[in-house]
Structure 1
């Protein structure tokens, strides 16, 4: 995010252009959550499709209400101890003026608030992909509320809030490498270490049931990510947002190609799942770094993320943690890479004058990035594991083994994603044709 610094003599005025642009960006980021639902929903087995969709959609409801009540105040209110914010006038949002500007910018507070709301919504939704097939929906909903309150809101303040310790240290996170992706990826790892593996992990085939749905979701994510990234500069007055837009496209393309090349060399095929996963890895990695690197740097960031994230998704089989849909391998690893690579590829000509090692800046920025990355990773992992442990010991986090095997959609939602009863095949077809065949046989015998 851009620093909120301005002189009294240069007090900005409301810009209709920037306001309209940011409202469009907010809508694009909102679209990413349904896009994520489709992406994850296609990657699971048929019996878990609806549950996977709902685990993302429920975040739209829960986090919106919490953000209005107190989340916005905690994340962006007046700093307290460099750890948390607070502004009682923002509770419920009823004391914010319609034309009151976000300090230092030309957009209303309401616009900044709703843009940041969409970030807060998608971050816990990202965690859900690691927990596919086995978590009670009620426990998941409560986990979202607790996690947003004690993890996301404080971390957002650290990274983007005026006075937050990472913000003041100079940690660069343009649009969420630490606050969103490392935060969600570390949380996913913490939760799955508590709740354990799916029934049949490493034994039963758990292939995606709909790769077209995966590709649709990846396309929606790619589209929405332009709002996610370019909008994070909060305006269009100096070209930095345009640089971020361009770098988003470049890094995503590079990561997709790098993943596919690695996959072809390692496994002998170019897969649609690899293309979709590679694109998301590139989007993740460029999110913190795209405002600081050049287009050539974006190619490097994307290519490195594409290869290393492709390698990382296999670690769950080596170490035995069941990250169902590779949230750790893509979002945690991609977020770490994108954040740390700023220390090497920052050009000093984008969002700030900070330069990385390859541009003569030494390792100063790299160490700052390390501080932000590993603090957020450790905090989110530990607190998320504690929350999951408490919920597991009180209300239980997992469905029963019978429900998991039979299908969590039916057990938790009393629905199934696909109705085959009227398709004219399988059991229905046999039931219809068997009496007809018997009658025909009697006629022939007669």
Structure 2
């Protein structure tokens, strides 16, 4: 079988989306304290490991690769281990889908930064993927409950979610909120200045990689060149507008725009355009990005007012901007073969109703099941590190490493390696 242009396009886009996970590691890593940067980055990398294995073994089959089981999930044994697909170009789509599952789990980690046990995270990632992500992906994209023939979609109408407003961002945002509530606040939350982002250039690099990879994230499923062109322009326009909106809010509220705000605005705009990238005009994308930038910039401060510790603003950015992008389709969706369009195009309230139903169903399911998983792990293996480990630094406590060695300078100015890294340094020297 010859490699078609469509297959090459999807393979390239899958590679772009996979790059987003280490990009997210940079983005999140720079936002943490210096003594938590490695743990934060490891949580993203570990998500790729855990979810990648799950996806090959049963995740793909359950998300739509097999016969549906009552509209709830597909049969996990239809293509278990993917052996039956060897020799088929279907594996290209399998790889593309895997990258979405990986980054969804990685996104959640930002809500529990600096205080979650790494071992517990490694247990959470495959369980949550199987119990939460896979069913919702099946409901929205695989013909399950929210599909046109599903038990809910058949009466509520099919919601538009081209690249993951509900499946990825609302899903991750709700899960992050639930885990943050279970874990509780960091020591010194809202008071300790050391909890401020320690490396803004790293955040900016991460945001750049995310924006770059997002063109694959949104564009990989484009069916025509015309659709791909619209998606590309919209994926440029929405985050551009959101960035300007975010820093404008900062200028009005705080007196100065910040680099962190610019990077966060870009991500908020990318999140908002994700479900709508193929179904709004470029002008609609600008409007959508602007609203998402304003909403997310205001929402990130709610954690201090309401008292929940969403460490890296997963709720404020991904949940809120995901809601904006998903529900805005009820107003901004262009008329097409499968939809009469949103309210602004004379389509009536039907599409808005479909979007709202999908949001409510996914949020309720994710919230409930994440709570069950999180509480079960919290009661058994324990989710949170000790107070002593949090004070010392999660990098040392969980990985016996430090991201930076500036603290290794003794009083005489000579370098004194931390005991946890001494053996590694010795081995490295011997190999050299």
TM-score (norm 1): 0.88
Provide the C-alpha distance between the structure 2 equivalents of 1:339 and 1:372, rounded to a whole number of angstroms: 9
1:295 to 282, 290, 308: 282
2:113 maps to: 132
Q: Is the 8 A contact 1:130 1:324 kept in 2?
A: yes
Provide the C-alpha distance between the structure 1 equivalents of 2:380 and 2:172, rounded to a whole number of angstroms: 23
SS in structure 2 of the partner of residue 159 of structure 1: helix
Asked if 1:231 corresponds to 2:190, the answer is no
SS in structure 1 of the partner of residue 406 of structure 2: coil
1:39 maps to: 27
2:211 maps to: 222
Q: Is the 8 A contact 2:38 2:395 kept in 1?
A: yes
Provide the C-alpha distance between the structure 2 equivalents of 1:86 and 1:294, rounded to a whole number of angstroms: 38
Provide the C-alpha distance between the structure 1 equivalents of 2:415 and 2:380, rounded to a whole number of angstroms: 46
1:238 is displaced (CA, Å) by 4.8
2:9 maps to: 21
1:403 to 367, 389, 403: 389
Cα deviation per residue 1:319-347 (whole Å; 9 max; x = unaligned)?
A: 00000000000000011110000000011
2:74 to 74, 85, 88: 85
1:16 is displaced (CA, Å) by 1.4
1:437 maps to: none
Provide the C-alpha distance between the structure 2 equivalents of 1:126 and 1:397, rounded to a whole number of angstroms: 17
Cα deviation per residue 1:79-121 (whole Å; 9 max; x = unaligned)?
A: 22221112634101011142x3xxxxxxx21111000000010
Q: Is the 8 A contact 2:146 2:159 kept in 1?
A: no
Provide the C-alpha distance between the structure 2 equivalents of 1:87 and 1:238, rounded to a whole number of angstroms: 34
1:312 maps to: 299
1:113 maps to: 94
Provide the C-alpha distance between the structure 1 equivalents of 2:183 and 2:412, rounded to a whole number of angstroms: 39
Superposition RMSD in Å: 1.7
1:354 is displaced (CA, Å) by 3.3
Provide the C-alpha distance between the structure 2 equivalents of 1:51 and 1:428, rounded to a whole number of angstroms: 30
SS in structure 1 of the partner of residue 221 of structure 2: helix
Matches within 5 A, 1:33-112: 33-76=21-64, 77-86=66-75, 88-98=77-87, 100=88, 108-112=89-93
Matches within 5 A, 1:256-275: 256-275=243-262
Unaligned runs of 5+ in 2: 417-432
Asked if 1:171 corresponds to 2:155, the answer is no
1:186 maps to: 174
Provide the C-alpha distance between the structure 2 equivalents of 1:18 and 1:430, rounded to a whole number of angstroms: 58
TM-score (norm 2): 0.91
Provide the C-alpha distance between the structure 1 equivalents of 2:414 and 2:56, rounded to a whole number of angstroms: 55
1:420 is displaced (CA, Å) by 2.2
Unaligned runs of 5+ in 1: 1-12, 101-107, 433-446
Bigger radius of gyration among the two: 1
Q: Is the 8 A contact 2:48 2:102 kept in 1?
A: yes
Provide the C-alpha distance between the structure 1 equivalents of 2:177 and 2:367, rounded to a whole number of angstroms: 7
